[in-house]
């Protein structure tokens, strides 16, 4: 009897399920429609999560684990050549640890896009690090931290990146001398593993502090956002001070394509550009009493082993003043802010702020002619550096003519290669000082 009752209940259940299936579009489904819809969404999300996690793991494993297996048909882990980085010599680094990086959208922007870019870097380099003197897998020798990190290579390039790790009050402090009153900061960043679920609080903080230790102290800090599902903007905050605000700006596509970050500090004034666009310009942001003397970085809310952050080519330079007045009053100006692709005369677009100012002088001073002189560091042969310096001077002339419509008759060029160094060619700082362009009134 018990067995019969059990069978009856079993077949009754089957009939119920069958009836439910046949009437899925009927009254019962209508009553449960919302619940079924939510369940379906959750099922889809779980499947997407599994596939996303699988692909992300493949990508991230390939970035810092040489020799990891890759699926050659997977576009997420193809191995494109990464964008060229600013290096006037073409001999940066000795890395031998090639890894793969995800394909990024966008790509290098043209000089025309940067034609109105108004950032002008300082003319006295006080710190530069491309990690060329560091070994792969080591923490960089010219930085300090209370966390961890290491120097890595990406793809088949020998150029080196420094991976920093997210964590509250985990600071990365480069060995920059005491910051002056007026200076500029430049660096390149790369983030991997970003997707629509990247946290709205995923940010890189650029911090100016009066405390040289791993504490906040007093500060002015600006957060670069990496959220992908919404343009969360730039959080800015200072202490002492009354500024705590979010400045609108959508850089979701920029952060996927290795952006160049530029910062200019003129006493209290703070400006920040991402690629060619200026997003922050606050006239009284940087406290002066006490004065902010130390540069720090902090990375927040990146998911462990999934989302990763890399930085390279950090340059801090005193100055960043108006080159136009100096050229008119002194008759010459020298700058290491005009950058070129490695081993070539292709001008990096972010250099156009300087060329713009030179063009403005020539437009104002109709009777002025200029000689453009190129210089390199000592890497490479004398002959190749001499040829490269001439080509780069000519490239600057062409930019003035083709972008800003300056009459080429007013411009002459010369290359001096490595023959007139102003810094020590044995150090990254010195090399960066030697890679320069002069403008001389004729």
Is residue 125 within a helix (H) or strand (E), and if so which, with residue range? strand 124-129
pLDDT of residue 322: 73
pLDDT of residue 109: 66
Contact in structure between 300 and 168 (CB atoms under 8 Å): yes
Q: Give yes or no: residues 310 and 344 share one domain.
A: no
Q: Smallest Cα–Cα separation from 410: which of 377, 361, 374, 342? A: 361
Count Cα atoms within 13 angstroms, Cβ side, for 338: 33
Q: Give yes or no: residues 262 and 337 share one domain.
A: no
Mean pLDDT of the 252-272 span: 95
The per-residue pLDDT for range 32-57, each reduced to its tens digit, is: 444 444 444 444 444 444 444 444 44
Q: Give yes or no: residues 66 and 44 share one domain.
A: yes
List, as one string, the DSSP characters of 316-327: EEE----HHHHH
| Pairwise CA distance, residues 87 & 109, whole Å | 17
Residue 33 lies in a domain: yes
Mean pLDDT of the 327-355 span: 89
Q: How confident is the model at residue 59 (pLDDT cuts 50, 70, 90)?
A: very low
The per-residue pLDDT for range 383-410, each reduced to its tens digit, is: 999 999 999 999 999 999 999 999 999 9
Q: Give yes or no: residues 55 and 143 share one domain.
A: no
Domain housing 42: 29-70
Q: Give yes or no: residues 283 and 175 share one domain.
A: yes
Q: Mean pLDDT lowest for which of 34-43, 88-97, 122-131?
A: 88-97
Residue 233 lies in a domain: yes
Find tokens 């990375």 and name the residue: 299
Mean pLDDT of the 409-435 span: 92
pLDDT of residue 12: 52
pLDDT for residue 149 is more than 90: yes
Q: How confident is the model at residue 341 (pLDDT cuts 50, 70, 90)?
A: confident
pLDDT for residue 147 is more than 90: yes
Total domains in the chain come to 3
| pTM for the model | 0.69
CATH code of the domain containing 435? 3.30.1330.60
Q: Give yes or no: residues 313 and 359 share one domain.
A: no
| Pairwise CA distance, residues 58 & 63, whole Å | 9
Residue 24 lies in a domain: no
Token representation of residue 406: 């300056």
Q: Give yes or no: residues 346 and 307 share one domain.
A: no
Pairing verdict, β 234-239 and 244-247: antiparallel
Q: How confident is the model at residue 305 (pLDDT cuts 50, 70, 90)?
A: confident
Average pLDDT, the chain: 81
Contacts for 281 with CB less than 8 Å, ≥ 6 apart: 269, 270, 271
Percent of the chain with pLDDT over 70: 75
Return the HEC string of 367-415: CCCEEEEEECCCCCCHHHHHHHHHHHHHHHHHHHHHCCCCCHHHEEEEE
| Pairwise CA distance, residues 53 & 76, whole Å | 12
pLDDT of residue 319: 85
| Pairwise CA distance, residues 163 & 151, whole Å | 6
Mean pLDDT of the 433-437 span: 92
Residue 106 lies in a domain: no
Q: Mean pLDDT lowest for which of 82-96, 252-266, 349-363, 388-402?
A: 82-96
Residue 86 lies in a domain: no
Q: Give yes or no: residues 412 and 435 share one domain.
A: yes
Q: Smallest Cα–Cα separation from 291: which of 213, 211, 210? A: 210
Q: Give yes or no: residues 239 and 350 share one domain.
A: no
Long-range Cβ contact pairs of 363-366 (< 8 A, separation 24 or more): 363/404, 363/406, 364/324, 365/328
Mean pLDDT of the 307-323 span: 90
Q: Give yes or no: residues 304 and 336 share one domain.
A: no
| Pairwise CA distance, residues 21 & 308, whole Å | 47
């Amino acid at each position: 009897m018990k067995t019969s009752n059990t069978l009856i209940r079993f077949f009754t259940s089957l009939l119920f399920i069958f009836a439910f299936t046949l009437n899925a579009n009927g009254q019962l489904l209508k009553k449960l429609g919302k619940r079924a819809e939510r369940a379906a969404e959750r099922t889809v999300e779980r499947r997407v999560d599994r596939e996303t996690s699988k692909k992300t793991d493949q990508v991230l494993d390939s970035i810092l684990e040489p020799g990891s297996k890759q699926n050659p048909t997977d576009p997420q882990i193809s191995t494109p050549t990464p964008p060229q980085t600013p290096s006037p010599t073409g001999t940066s680094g000795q890395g031998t640890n090639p890894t793969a990086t995800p394909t990024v959208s966008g790509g290098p922007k043209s000089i025309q896009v940067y034609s109105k870019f108004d950032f002008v870097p300082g003319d006295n380099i006080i710190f530069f690090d491309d990690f060329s003197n560091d070994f792969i897998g080591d923490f960089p020798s010219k930085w300090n931290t209370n966390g961890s990190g290491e120097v890595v290579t990406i793809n088949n390039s020998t150029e080196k990146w420094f991976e920093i790790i997210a964590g509250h009050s985990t600071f990365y402090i480069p060995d920059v001398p005491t910051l002056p009153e007026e200076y500029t900061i430049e660096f390149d960043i790369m983030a991997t593993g970003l997707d629509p679920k990247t946290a709205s609080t995923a940010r890189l903080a650029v911090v100016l502090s009066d405390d040289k230790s791993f504490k906040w102290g007093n500060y002015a800090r600006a957060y670069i956002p990496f959220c992908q599902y919404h343009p969360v903007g730039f959080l800015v905050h200072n202490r002492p001070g009354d500024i705590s605000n979010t400045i609108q700006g959508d850089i979701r596509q920029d952060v996927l394509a290795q952006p160049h970050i530029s910062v200019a500090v003129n006493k209290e004034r703070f400006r920040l550009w991402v690629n060619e666009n200026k997003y922050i310009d606050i006239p009284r942001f940087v406290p002066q009493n006490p004065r902010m003397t130390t540069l720090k970085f902090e990375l927040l809310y990146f998911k462990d082993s999934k989302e990763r952050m890399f930085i390279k080519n950090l340059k801090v330079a005193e100055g960043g003043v108006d080159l136009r007045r100096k050229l008119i009053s002194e008759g010459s100006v020298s700058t290491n802010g005009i950058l070129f692709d490695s081993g070539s005369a292709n001008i990096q677009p972010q250099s156009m702020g300087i060329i713009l100012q030179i063009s403005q002088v020539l437009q104002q001073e109709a009777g002025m002619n200029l000689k453009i002189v190129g210089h390199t560091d000592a890497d490479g042969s004398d002959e190749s550096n001499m040829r490269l310096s001439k080509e780069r001077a000519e490239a600057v002339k062409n930019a003035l003519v083709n972008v800003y419509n300056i009459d080429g008759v007013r411009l002459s060029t010369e290359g001096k290669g490595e023959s007139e160094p102003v810094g020590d060619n044995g150090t990254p700082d010195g090399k960066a000082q030697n890679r320069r362009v002069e403008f001389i009134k004729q």
